[in-house]
C-alpha cells in the first residue's frame, strides 16, 4: 500500500437490520423472514465477511398504527435486540453488535447490566444506540403510561446515561484476583457503589459485573433535535445520523464539531455514520433500472396514499394515485396519523405546500411524486460499483462522515453486492480497512478505551458516597 493511501480517511460500514420499516421489499421471492434467526445470521455473517464494524438492530416498543389500525403495509416483527445479539455473538468474531434501546421506558441499572452482559458475552463488541422515542403514545405499553414530554426526554436520558457509565466504570480493571493463592476472589479494588439521588431516580447500586475488554459498551445516539445533538456531543461515541447527502453531511459535521467543543470534548470525539441505502449493479444503466424496480416494490398505490396521509393528517382514500396531490392543507394533528413512524413532521403545512408546488411544476402524480420523494433514512447511493466507490471517495476526502450505516432494501441477501463488489473497490482505493483492527468494537471504530472510575473506593467498612 502506498504512503498516500495510508493517509486517507478510512470509512467504516455498519448494517441496520431495520425490522419495522417501509423500505424493506417483501413482495419478492428472494425476501426472507424478518424474524427467523437464519435471516439475522445470514446478514451479520455477510457483513463480517465485508469487515463491517457494526450490526445494528432497531427497536420499536409498540406496533405502528395508521389511522387507528395496525399499520399492515410495512414489514413488522422485531425479536428482542439483546437476545438476538447475544445469539449472533456466538456465530461472529469481530463485528460490533448494536442494540437500539430506549431511555424513556427502561431502567438504568437494569439496562446497564444487560448491555454489560452482551459486552462480556461478545468479547467487547457491544454497543447501545440510545433513543428516547418521538412520542408518548408508545408509553401506553408501560407502567407510566404516556411518559415524559419531548423537552424532558433528553434531561432524563442524560441522567440515565451518566448512571449507566458510572455503573460500567465502577469496577477496577484489577478487581478480580488472578492468583489462586489470593485471600479473596475480589482484590482490594472493590467496585464503587453508585449512589444517585436525582429528579428521576433514587438509586444505590453496586454493579454485578466487571468491565469488558473494551471497558464499556460503545454509545451510539440517534435523534436529530437540537437537544438530541447536544446530548450526543456530551455523551455519545458515534451518531447514527439522518444526514447522508454530501452537503448535508458536511453541515451536520460542522454543527456537531461546534457542539462537541462546547461540551468540552475533543472535536473528533464523536464519530458520525449516516444511514444510507445502496442500490448497486455492474453498469450505471442497470443500477438505474434496479432503482426503479426497488422503488416500485417499496411504494405501490396504497403505500403512496398512506405516505401522504401521514403528513396530511387524515384519510386520503379518495385520492387517485395516478392523479395530483391533494389541493388542500393538512390537518395539524398530522403527526399522530401514523403512530410510531419515528419521522413524523412538525412542519406539515409548510412542507406539503412546497410538495404541491413541486409536483405541479414537475408534472408528477401521487405515485410518481412519493416514489421520487421518499428517500431512505439519510442518503441514497445508486450506481455501478465503480461510480459509487468514486462517490464514497469524495466523502472520505471531505471528512464529512466516518462511514455509513446501510439499510438494506432486501433481507437477508441485500448486502451481498456491497460486500462482493463495492468493498473490494473501496479497499483498492485505500478508503476502507482490509482487516479488522482488533477484537473490540472500540478498536475497530478507532475509539479510546474509557478509564475506570477514579472515585474513592471502600474505606474500612463504609462506602464513600458520591452523587452523580
Ligand atoms: C437515524 C435514526 C434512527 C432511529 N432509529 C430508531 C429506532 O430504531 N427506534 C426508536 O425508537 N427510535 C429511533 N430513532 C428516533 C429516536 O427515537 C429519537 O429519540 C427520536 O427521534 C426523538 O429524538 P429527536 O427529537 O432528537 O429526534 C431514530 C432516529 C434516527 C435519526
Ligand 1 atom 11, closest CA? 133
* Superfamily of domain 3-281+379-445 in the CATH hierarchy: Luciferase-like domain (3.20.20.30)
pLDDT of amino acid 333: 58
Contacts of 339 (CB under 8 A, 6+ apart): 62, 64, 65, 66, 135, 137
pLDDT tens-digit profile of 416-461? 999 999 999 999 999 999 999 999 999 999 999 988 765 444 443 3
The best mutation among 139, 149, 224 to test binding of ligand 1, ranked by most ligand atoms within 8 Å of the C-beta, falls on: 224
**Burial (0-12, 13-18, 19+ Cβ within 10 Å), 305:** buried
**Burial (0-12, 13-18, 19+ Cβ within 10 Å), 368:** middle
pLDDT of amino acid 468: 34
pLDDT tens-digit profile of 227-258? 999 999 999 999 999 999 999 999 999 999 99
Q: CA dist 200 to 104, 114, 170, 211, 342, Å? A: 11, 20, 21, 26, 25
Angle 226-235/246-262 helices, nearest 10 degrees? 60
pLDDT of amino acid 453: 62
329 close to ligand 1 (CB < 6 Angstrom): no
101 close to ligand 1 (CB < 6 Angstrom): no
Please tell me the distance between residue 4's alpha carbon and the centre of ligand 1 in angstroms: 38
Contacts of 429 (CB under 8 A, 6+ apart): 5, 8, 389, 393
Please answer whether residues 308 and 351 qualify as being in contact, where contact means their C-beta atoms are separated by less than 8 angstroms: no
What are 130's strand-pairing partners? Answer: 101, 221
Distance between CA atoms of residues 24 and 35, nearest Å: 13
Handedness of CA 294, 72, 43, 93 (dihedral sign): positive
Angle 81-89/108-121 helices, nearest 10 degrees? 20
152 close to ligand 1 (CB < 6 Angstrom): no
Q: Which atom of ligand 1 is nearest to the CA of 130?
A: 19
Low-confidence ranges of the chain (pLDDT < 50): 1-5, 334-335, 342-344, 455-468
pLDDT of amino acid 188: 67
- Global pTM reads 0.91
pLDDT of amino acid 2: 42
Distance between CA atoms of residues 465 and 450, nearest Å: 22
Which three cell numbers mark 170? 465502577
Please answer whether residues 419 and 42 qualify as being in contact, where contact means their C-beta atoms are separated by less than 8 angstroms: no
Parts of the chain belonging to CATH 3.20.20.30: 3-281+379-445
82 close to ligand 1 (CB < 6 Angstrom): no
Q: Which atom of ligand 1 is nearest to the CA of 405?
A: 1
Amino acid at each position: 500500500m502506498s504512503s498516500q493511501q495510508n493517509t486517507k480517511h478510512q470509512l467504516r460500514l455498519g448494517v441496520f437490520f431495520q425490522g419495522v420499516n417501509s423500505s424493506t421489499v417483501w413482495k419478492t421471492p428472494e425476501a426472507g423472514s424478518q424474524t427467523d434467526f437464519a435471516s439475522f445470521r445470514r446478514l451479520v455473517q455477510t457483513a463480517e465477511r465485508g469487515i463491517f464494524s457494526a450490526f445494528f438492530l432497531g427497536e420499536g416498543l409498540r406496533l405502528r398504527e395508521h389511522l387507528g389500525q395496525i399499520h399492515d403495509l410495512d414489514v413488522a416483527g422485531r425479536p428482542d435486540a439483546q437476545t438476538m445479539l447475544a445469539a449472533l455473538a456466538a456465530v461472529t468474531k469481530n463485528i460490533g453488535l448494536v442494540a437500539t434501546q430506549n431511555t424513556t421506558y427502561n431502567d438504568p441499572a437494569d439496562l446497564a447490566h444487560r448491555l454489560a452482559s452482551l459486552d462480556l458475552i461478545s468479547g467487547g463488541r457491544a454497543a447501545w444506540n440510545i433513543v428516547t422515542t418521538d412520542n408518548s403514545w408508545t408509553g401506553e405499553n408501560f407502567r407510566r403510561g404516556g411518559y415524559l414530554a419531548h423537552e424532558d426526554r433528553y434531561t432524563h436520558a442524560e441522567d440515565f446515561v451518566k448512571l449507566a457509565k458510572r455503573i460500567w466504570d465502577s469496577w477496577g480493571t484489577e478487581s478480580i484476583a488472578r492468583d489462586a493463592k489470593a485471600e479473596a476472589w475480589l482484590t482490594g479494588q472493590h467496585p464503587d457503589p453508585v449512589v444517585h439521588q436525582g429528579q428521576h431516580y433514587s438509586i444505590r447500586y453496586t454493579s454485578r459485573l466487571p468491565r469488558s475488554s473494551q471497558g464499556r459498551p460503545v454509545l451510539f445516539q440517534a435523534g436529530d433535535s437540537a437537544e438530541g445533538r447536544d446530548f450526543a456531543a456530551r455523551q455519545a461515541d458515534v451518531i447514527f445520523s439522518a444526514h447522508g447527502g454530501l452537503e448535508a453531511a458536511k453541515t451536520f459535521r460542522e454543527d456537531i464539531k461546534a457542539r462537541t467543543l462546547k461540551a468540552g470534548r475533543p472535536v473528533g470525539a464523536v464519530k458520525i455514520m449516516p444511514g444510507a441505502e445502496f442500490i448497486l449493479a455492474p453498469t450505471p444503466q442497470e443500477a438505474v433500472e434496479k432503482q426503479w424496480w426497488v422503488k416500485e416494490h417499496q411504494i405501490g398505490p396504497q403505500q403512496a396514499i398512506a405516505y401522504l396521509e401521514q403528513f396530511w393528517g387524515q384519510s386520503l382514500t379518495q385520492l387517485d394515485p395516478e392523479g395530483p396531490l391533494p389541493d388542500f392543507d393538512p390537518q395539524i394533528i398530522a403527526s399522530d396519523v401514523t403512530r410510531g413512524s419515528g419521522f413524523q413532521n412538525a412542519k406539515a403545512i409548510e412542507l406539503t405546500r412546497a410538495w404541491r408546488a413541486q409536483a405541479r411544476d414537475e408534472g408528477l402524480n401521487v405515485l410518481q411524486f412519493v416514489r421520487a420523494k421518499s428517500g431512505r433514512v439519510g442518503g441514497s447511493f445508486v450506481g455501478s460499483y465503480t461510480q459509487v466507490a468514486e462517490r464514497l471517495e469524495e466523502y472520505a476526502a471531505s471528512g464529512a462522515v466516518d462511514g455509513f450505516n446501510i439499510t438494506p432494501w432486501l433481507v437477508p441477501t441485500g448486502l451481498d453486492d456491497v460486500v462482493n463488489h463495492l468493498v473490494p473497490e473501496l479497499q483498492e482505493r485505500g478508503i476502507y480497512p482490509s482487516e479488522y483492527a482488533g477484537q473490540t468494537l472500540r478498536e475497530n471504530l478507532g475509539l479510546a478505551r474509557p478509564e475506570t472510575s477514579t472515585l474513592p473506593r471502600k474505606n474500612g467498612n463504609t462506602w464513600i458516597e458520591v452523587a452523580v
